[in-house]
Structure 1
Amino acid sequence: MNALDLSTLHPRLPSPLHEAEDERFTRHGVRLLLKRDDLIHPDLPGNKWRKLAPNLQAATGRPLLTFGGAYSNHLRATAAAGRLLGFGTIGVVRGDELAARPLNPSLSQCAADGMTLHFVDRSTYRAKDDPRVLQSILRAVGRGGVEDVYVVPEGGSNALAAQGCTALGHELREAADVVAIACGTGGTLAGLAAGLGQGQRAIGFPVLKGGFLGDAIRALQREAFGGPAGDWSLDERFHFGGYARTTPELDAFAEDFEARHHLAVERLYVAKALYGLTALAAGGAFPPGTTVVAVITGQSDSSR
């Protein structure tokens, strides 16, 4: 089967890179740039495009089955890709279906884009990587086996996704000393770090608490690149309570950043990375003369 022609979607690549004058950085001699990956494509913004594109090519038109929570942007982007490119999508959703009815705006959009939604309880969802559990899910959605679909993991993070995200690093070579990004499942950071040049480093700000993400990134890099790749680190202090959590402090920071830079700030991922980066600058983490890039991965109306 022929590969999908993704050029028909007209992605904006490389994504724009803009300077952001911000005295919270300039007072320390630090230059702040914003990498607008959220502008790559209106339906597949940011790291969603970079992670999905190589997987869509590998799927070669087969229905794509993937996983996510009730507010997953990954599910929304996958459903949108199916609508735009004309292939079937199946979303395995964590949680009880009755509790999810009526569907929230995120899942409603998935359904409107033609995605078949299949709800599983949390214990089944945790075991989704077990071949027997996956087979039972496939039977439940009317698929005979894994050969009938192309399976993408939660968040879209697999070896192909990490390889796709190296392009983000390539686009930022010579542009920055430090690149900061919010992290969910780690695939974007794994590829970003691999794509950066000598002397550059990446900082990831996990939006979940638990301290497990470093191992996941190292495993992804082994699978994608054969071993460690690039200079990267994680700062786990700015998750604001964990996945899908915000606080009044974070909301106030995001509103202030929006007013300063005329940029709508997505709260659950982007705001946490920007907050962490601003705190690091205030704490003297970056020597004078450092250029820092913040990757804007999501849109303000995107609940993840």
Structure 2
Amino acid sequence: MNQQLSISFPNFISVHIKREDLIHPFVSGNKFRKLKYNLLQAKEENQETVLTFGGAFSNHIAAVAFAGKEKGFKTIGIIRGDELGSKISGNPTLLFAQNCGMQLEFISREEYRLKSEASFLENLKKQFGDFYLIPEGGTNELAVKGCQEILTEEDVVFDYICCSIGTGGTISGIINSVLPYQKVLGFPALKGDFLKDEIRNFAQNENWDLITDYHFGGYGKIDSALIGFINQFYEENQIPLDPIYTGKMVFGVIDLINKNYFPAQSKILLIHTGGIQGIQGMNIKLRNKQLPTININV
């Protein structure tokens, strides 16, 4: 569903937001898209177990846990940070995953860096038996295939398609499905433009660019300005934004509009990739730092 924002933009610019966060109550946004064909492939391979990786408040971990339960898979989550094993009850994301039946295995950050190495994966198979592997964040060729279905016929009217970026899978699928006159703008949640190489591994077109000025200090970093923006945006539009991904992207797009980045009469589509479940965990961190919280009920 595309929803027009109730904000007055200069230069007759129109902005709509595609509510991918409404696809599914627990497997929302790009996670639904990324898992769709991976879980079908796991079924085709007669796999009973799905194993993946993630951090303390990972949208991906939560989505795989629920989707696995829904589709009849056993799920295993390899979690970054061995200290988290004793803190599940105070972590909304990990508690949700565990309640969905996911087996959580906590490893050190040093071990976690080895997650793509063949020897590390072989040791996991010795420990857990055979499994279908989904990488951290869910990005692989099947995930990109799913994300190519985000845009529909109603989206041909837009000049710019904007989305946040974590591992690059979502934007790659969008890039592969846009029309020649459309441009895709990605807003990384991480510092730097190193993701360009990752995106080129999957994306076939060249009509895209990365806007790297709105990471707010890096992955998982936010400040009072972003919190205030998310709260005000929700109050004015009744659209929740997560602070890690979509919130930063929407902040960036509106800032660029006010700086005359976009030509007059541009039609802009923002992709809401979900991630709302992470707000609870972020608010715990904000309270611990005695900072304002995100006033959105999840």
**Superposed pair shares fold, TM > 0.5:** yes
The residue aligned with 1:210 is 192
| Alpha-carbon distance, 1:197 to partner | 1.2
Unaligned runs of 5+ in 1: 1-15, 222-227
Determine helix, strand or coil for the equivalent of 2:218.
coil
| Alpha-carbon distance, 1:138 to partner | 2.5
The residue type paired with residue 72 of structure 1 is S
| Alpha-carbon distance, 1:234 to partner | 0.6
Structural mapping, 1:95-106, within 5 Å: 95-96=81-82, 98-103=83-88, 104-106=91-93
Contact 1:170 1:195 in 2 (8 A): no
Contact 2:51 2:132 in 1 (8 A): yes
Of residues 102, 105, 116, the one that matches 2:103 is 116
Contact 2:187 2:210 in 1 (8 A): yes
Whole-angstrom distance in 1 between the partners of 2:108 and 2:126: 16
Aligned length: 275
Find runs of 4+ consecutive structure 1 residues off by over 2 angstroms.
Answer: 137-140, 169-173, 299-304
The residue aligned with 1:126 is 113
The residue type paired with residue 205 of structure 2 is A
Structural mapping, 1:1-304, within 5 Å: 16-23=1-8, 25=9, 27-60=10-43, 62=47, 63-96=49-82, 98-103=83-88, 104-140=91-127, 142-143=128-129, 148-171=130-153, 173-221=155-203, 228-303=204-279
Whole-angstrom distance in 1 between the partners of 2:76 and 2:224: 36
| Alpha-carbon distance, 1:120 to partner | 1.5
The residue type paired with residue 79 of structure 1 is A
| Alpha-carbon distance, 1:106 to partner | 0.3
Whole-angstrom distance in 2 between the partners of 1:39 and 1:230: 29
Determine helix, strand or coil for the equivalent of 1:168.
coil
Q: TM-score, normalised by structure 2?
A: 0.88
The residue type paired with residue 211 of structure 1 is D
Give RMSD over aligned pairs. 1.5
Whole-angstrom distance in 2 between the partners of 1:257 and 1:278: 11
C-alpha distance after superposition, 1:169-221 (max 9, x if no partner): 34554131101111100100000111111201111100011332111111133
Residue identity over aligned pairs, in percent, reads 36
The residue type paired with residue 280 of structure 1 is L
Q: CA 1:135–1:172 in 2, change beyond 3 Å: closer, same or farther?
A: farther
The residue type paired with residue 211 of structure 2 is D
Whole-angstrom distance in 2 between the partners of 1:116 and 1:299: 21
Q: TM-score, normalised by structure 1?
A: 0.87
Q: CA 1:166–1:230 in 2, change beyond 3 Å: closer, same or farther?
A: farther
